[in-house]
Structure 1
Amino acid sequence: MVSEKEIEANPEKIQAILGLQSPRTLNELQELTANPKSVEVLFLYLAVSKEAVSSVLVREQEKNQNPVYCVSKLLQGAEKTYTQIEKLALALIVTARKLRPYFQSHKVVVLTNHPLKHIMTRPDASGRLVKWAVELGEYDIEYQGKTAIKAQALADFIVEFTGEQSQDERGGWLLHVSGSSNASNGGAGVLLQGPDGVEIEVVARLSFPATNNEAEYEALVLGLQLALEAGIKELNVCTDSQLVAMQIEGTYETRERTMVQYLGKVKELMVRFDKCVVQQIPRSENKRADALSKFGVMVEGVKERKITLIIKEHPIIEETEEI
């Protein structure tokens, strides 16, 4: 009400508010701030540091993000030696266990710029990651790239725990590709490297006649598809093929029908990134991808498989046999 004295609240209009009791317990407080309906989609932010992992589960209301629950865990023993991607996976599994009722009754969207889903479901993932992936399989979880954070309090929370991670994410990812071929088949090698030490290696055997240039394009397309699947937004691509790099740049004219088709496919994939740059490098700087592509050419008559790599520090004759 507006009077000559001042602006006052109309008691008749605010009676319901005046009659509300102050929350007396944590549960009553949560009922006021975050009591999501079963049909609501909830969003999860993950954060890691050298000493702890944390998460915030939020709900969206009228374009605002409001925290539902915060979870944190102090890292113990071997957990401190986990890679950043393993720490993120740990944060997710700890949160799912702590907030099981929320995960059972809601779809949860995990917002992260790391290829968390891809890493956890790789055939060569560690036993720990595979176990966590199976445990999370009962929930309706979706992974999306992290965009601008709307809630300022949430932004402050994330920055507090992920100063190093935010710096890493701005650095982008590096993709090395290489292709090889012989008279009857070809091979494609892909090495995807993340700013936090994550590496993904893929070998593809091309069981069809392919020229060396076609094999180079096959490797590039495979690498771009892998990066998109992992949710990567910024990508620097390195290839030792001068023809591929120059055709993408537009310096070389593309005439052959197959090359035109490959080039079109590559450009179609590149525009789906926020930033994607292709550069030519000497073969001496592309040794790992080149070795992977040659391995793809050599493997014949085998199915897709997992290969175990053993690092031996000493000759076998110097080792003591243990039974």
Structure 2
Amino acid sequence: MTNAFEATSTTGDVLMNRDLSGIRVLVTGVSSGLGWETARALVSRGAHVVGAVRDLVKARRAGAEIRTHAANGGELSLVALDLASLEGVRACSDALMRDGRSFDVVIANAGVMRTPYGHTVDGFETQFGTNHLGHFAFVNRIEPLIATGGRLVVLSSTGHRTADVDLIDPNFEHMPYDAGVAYGRSKTANILFSVAFDRRHRTRGIRATAVHPGVIKTALDRSMTPEEVNLMLARINAALATEGRSPFQYKSLAQGAATSVWAAVVANAEEIGGRYCEDCGVSPVVDQPDGPLGKGVMAYAVDAERAEALWSLSERMIGERF
């Protein structure tokens, strides 16, 4: 796949000279961080972005800044969505279905990371319940609104390398809780969801992909103490030094959101469908991680049978069939 973009490309680079007038995009989690930058970049090129957010008050403040960048008729509207509550998911999806307007792209961006042991309103482990099950229920319930030829972009992470999904004990009921493992499971689940969704809907031209934005300093790590963050960075840099590589550097927001908008409106749909992307390109499948922050998607995260098994489990857990 020939590609003009790479790790340091920004949303501005990816969307340069593109007119997105008339395109409707739903993005979850636009109040801050990657979701904010994704919405800002799309609105600045003329897209109508519907931001689905947990906290409307916070989002209205963030949205006011996003709207200052609007051009070519770009718009931002907001809807309430609590991914940690099936009631909230159903209320939002029902409202969108009643509205009836279609979306060209859905970007499942919102999420939590390395949270203390806890549960969603419905009793699911917090990270698996919010990052995967909330989006699984929400996206499937609004799937009829995704236009023919549309796309689903699901944000995952290199954290998926930490752990495969556990189809027997997804809520850590029978094993000690580990925040990093739980995060890894949820990010693997994000990829597997995109694989199964792509297989189901490609016949009407809808393609789904999962993306890793890179490592960006956002509020996503709010559950980690500064000491934990510093220890993590020290371990990464020590390993990088052993490999003779340069010290780790965070991506900027504009660099981090670039892969999301690239997959949403720039990349060839046939080439990214059912795949995992990072640094504005399709990633190779690997059997073993090649060091800290190495590139590639673990084979278990794109395994079709694993994706179908997770789909069935997810349906049983939320009590809905799709």
Instruction: Give the TM-score range, shorter chain.
Output: under 0.3
Q: Which has the higher helix share?
A: 2
TM-score by length of 1: 0.27
Q: TM-score, normalised by structure 2?
A: 0.27
- Larger radius of gyration, structure 1 or 2? 1
Of Structure 1 and Structure 2, the greater strand share is in 1
